[in-house]
Amino acid sequence: MLGNFTYCNPTRLHFGEQALEQLAGELKHYGGRVLLAYGGGSIKKNGLYDKVTAILKACGKEVFEVPGVMPNPTVEKLYEGCRVARENNVDLILAVGGGSVCDYAKAVSVSAWCQEDPWDKYFLRMEDVSNPIIPVGCVLTMVGTGSEMNGGAVITHPAQKRKIGHVFGSNVMPRFSILDPTLTYTVPMEQMVAGIYDAFNHICEQYFSGEDDNTTDYIAEGLMRSLVASSRIALRQPENYEARSNIMWAATWALNTLLAMGKSTDWEVHMIGQSIGAYTNATHGMTLSAVSLAYYRYIMADGLAKFGRFAVNVWGIDPAGKSAEALAEAGLAAMERWMEELGVARNIRQLGVTEDMLEGIADGAFLMTGGYRTLTRNDVLNILKASM
């Protein structure tokens, strides 16, 4: 049954090959002081930095920069961005990069004017925002996290070995996002497939909850089928516009809150994956793929009907003559074959996890209650061992 909910997602998305042309129109709505956040410098090599700064200049903006936002943005980097935003009293934060940069921009947007330590308030204590929020816009260069159309931000505290995400409300969602699939062509193959699996797992985390026949789950199945079909084309032809644009669009809808409406949602794979990320700094999507199969096989019996539905509706498996268990396992086996095709990580050892980390990773993994089974810390340890 669809539970009660409120849905609101006001982000304005400009999608397509000429989407960057819409940036100037968006910038008109904000004051003259813009904080430009970006990553390791790939946008300087591929010319995007020059294009964006030319548009900012033509719009008469004064630009302040936070370069070097890392793949798993740290709390120290968050403090730096807050300082720059505050000292320059910026009117807009423009993220140019992948999900980490977008996440980072949103974290700065809620933290810059926070009177307390934002790590404590927003990530450890998960409080609501009670201070002014700086608007955020995104120019997306990498696909997967869905950060371009949601209120989420994940920040890592290396000293505390914690990587924590907070999903803020619609007032923290980007005011606008520029989605040009051709900007994702230069992403290395490993990042592309990690992003595809990240998006796929976002859908799984929401789909594998509840017992009934929600409209939301039918949408989820459509998105998964589209992702699988397009990923197979993109593996062979990374510059196939149709495939890359479908992947980009599916990834946005995979995590813009729609698929969670009326559902309890799981998110345990993300909790375990994030804890692995805190210990290894591994690519987010790979931390998810490395534990997914062990996790889903661990809980399969608790959500057998849904795993069977997954087999039939997502992977096209004929249920005739199969037991419920065999059907459910056939769906996961089909997912496993697809993950092999993608070449995503399927064990945590290859991400740099060693035996001595397992206890700590288990400690860092929140135990979620919305999926088919609420794990214990010992269950998490079992899953980690099965993922080694």
Nearer to a copy of itself, 20 or 164 (CB): 20
Binding a copy of itself (rule: CB under 8 A), the pick from 158, 262, 319, 370 is 262
Q: Return d(Cα 304, Cα 372) in angstroms, integer.
A: 9
Residues of span 165-204 touching a copy of itself by CB under 8 A: 170
Q: Tell me: does residue 29 bind a copy of itself (CB under 8 A).
A: no
Is the dihedral angle over the CA atoms 187, 191, 196, 201 positive or is it negative?
Answer: negative
Binding a copy of itself (rule: CB under 8 A), the pick from 16, 319, 343, 370 is 16
What 184-187 contacts at long range (C-beta under 8 Å, 24+ apart), as own/partner pairs, is 184/140, 184/141, 184/142, 184/143, 184/244, 184/248, 185/238, 185/239, 185/244, 186/42, 186/46, 186/141, 187/98, 187/141, 187/142, 187/143
Q: Tell me: does residue 341 bind a copy of itself (CB under 8 A).
A: no
Q: Which amino acid is at 65?
A: E
C-beta separation of 15 from 155 below 8 A? no
Q: Tell me: does residue 378 bind a copy of itself (CB under 8 A).
A: no
- 137 φ, ψ to 5°? -125, 155
Select from 221-229, 294-302, 320-328, 340-348 the region that touches a copy of itself (CB under 8 A): 221-229
Nearer to a copy of itself, 123 or 253 (CB): 253
Q: Tell me: does residue 225 bind a copy of itself (CB under 8 A).
A: yes
Binding a copy of itself (rule: CB under 8 A), the pick from 59, 124, 133, 219 is 219
Q: Which amino acid is at 275?
A: S
Q: Tell me: does residue 265 bind a copy of itself (CB under 8 A).
A: no
Q: Name the minimum Å distance from CB 311 to a copy of itself.
A: 15
Binding a copy of itself (rule: CB under 8 A), the pick from 223, 272, 335, 351 is 223
Residue bearing tokens 């996961």: 332
Nearer to a copy of itself, 256 or 274 (CB): 256
Two tokens, residue 67: 């370069």
Task: List interacting residues with a copy of itself (CB under 8 A).
Answer: 1-19, 22, 170, 212-216, 218-223, 225-226, 229-230, 241-242, 245-246, 249-250, 253, 261-262
